[in-house]
Amino acid sequence: MTAGRALVFVLALSWANALPTPGELDFVENVRDVGMPRIVSGWEAEEGQIPYQLSLRMVAKNGAVFSCGATIIHSEWGLTAAHCTAERVTIVIRAGGRALSRPQLLFETTDYYNHPEYDESLTIVQPHDIGVIKFNRVLEFNDLVQPIRLQASADKYKNYDMIRLQTSGWGRTWTNGVGPEVLNWVYLLGTSNARCRAAFGGSPIVVDSTICASNYNVTSQSTCQGDSGGPLVVIDVDGLPSEVGVTSFVSGTGCHTGFPAGFIRPGPYHEWLTEVTGIDFDWDPSSTTPTSPSPPEEDSEESEEGEEDTSSSSSSEEGEEDD
């Protein structure tokens, strides 16, 4: 695979059928690839394993329905990708539980705030792909519903190259494949911005506020259609999880092709987040006591080996358009 072949796509899914020409940036909905269905090459989450994960269903002005992920960052606020909520008229949110058909909470909101430098009128991949959702209710936290801490501003440009990260979502399990009923998760390896930018032929989309991640131990591991807006998580210096990325884009070659997936770092946006929400989400990593996280449990399933990894968009289509 040459860098010239790498196209960057937002992890969204719509019903557009035309393939982009080389070098174009577009939504992941336009990513088309033939493959057997198989997040990609990951594992089903246990109940309560990822209590901060949200599922979104958004309705556009023309009645089209899109699917995305998001995270709980406060009892009244969620974090997602701006392209998920851009120009949507309503958002249905599922929280708690791993199965889409059995959420602990199911509610609707119309309030969202996308970063002012994200242009909602443009249907192309762009930086600042980050936004917040106002729940218009106060969530009661329990074993299945919990917030996640955001990346500290002190670490906003940290190099996560070769650091193990985790992402999750209800997105398709293969390019153009099926969307699961049960939440999936997968390990990824951080990829330096320099290597990520080179993989996409020097694309200007990979900026300082971008974080990229590639497959962990099987080339097909990645996010896919329907995972947009979901979390990229690291075990931080104190042994607790922090969200260091919001799922944004992938290669136009597909979800399982081996190119890095792109995420937006929350760290550079703390000032804006506080301005919009009135809440200070920042914290000081130097004030924490470093601990060694518990060793990971043995993977209950082995990802299929020998599959070619093609990083593709992370949204899943379920008779709906997915962001």
Q: Could you tell me if 24 and 18 are in contact, meaning their C-beta atoms sit under 8 angstroms apart?
A: no
CA distance 117 to 126: 9
Rounded distance between C-alpha atoms, residue 53 and residue 187, angstroms: 16
Catalytic residue flag (residue 26): no
Domain boundaries 3-286, corresponding CATH code? 2.40.10.120
User: How much is the pTM?
Assistant: 0.81
Query: What does each C-alpha distance from 176 to 84, 116, 173, 226 come to in angstroms?
Result: 19, 32, 8, 11
Domain boundaries, the chain: 3-286
pLDDT of residue 41: 60
What is the pLDDT, as a whole number, of residue 223? 72
pLDDT-flagged residues of the chain (< 70): 1-42, 172-180, 219-220, 222, 225, 254-256, 291-323
Q: Please say if 208 is a catalytic residue.
A: no
Q: Which of 67, 168, 228, 312 is catalytic?
A: 228
Catalytic residue among 26, 129, 282, 323: 129
Question: Residue 69 has what pLDDT?
Answer: 94
Cα atoms in the Cβ-side hemisphere of radius 13 Å centred on 135: 22
Quick one: 207 exposed, middle or buried, by C-beta within 10 A (0-12, 13-18, 19+)? middle
Place of tokens 């106002």: 134
Query: In the prediction, which pLDDT does 183 show?
Result: 92
Rg (CA), the chain: 17
Q: Which are the contacts of 222, defined by CB distance < 8 A and separation ≥ 6?
A: 39, 40, 41, 186, 188, 214, 215, 250, 255, 256, 261, 309, 310, 311, 312, 314
- Identify the active-site residue in 83, 128, 256, 270: 83
Annotation says 101 is catalytic: no
pLDDT at 161: 97
Q: Which of 11, 237, 44, 209 lies closest to 127, judged by CA?
A: 209
Structure tokens at 67: 């699917």
Task: Please give the pLDDT value at position 154.
Answer: 98
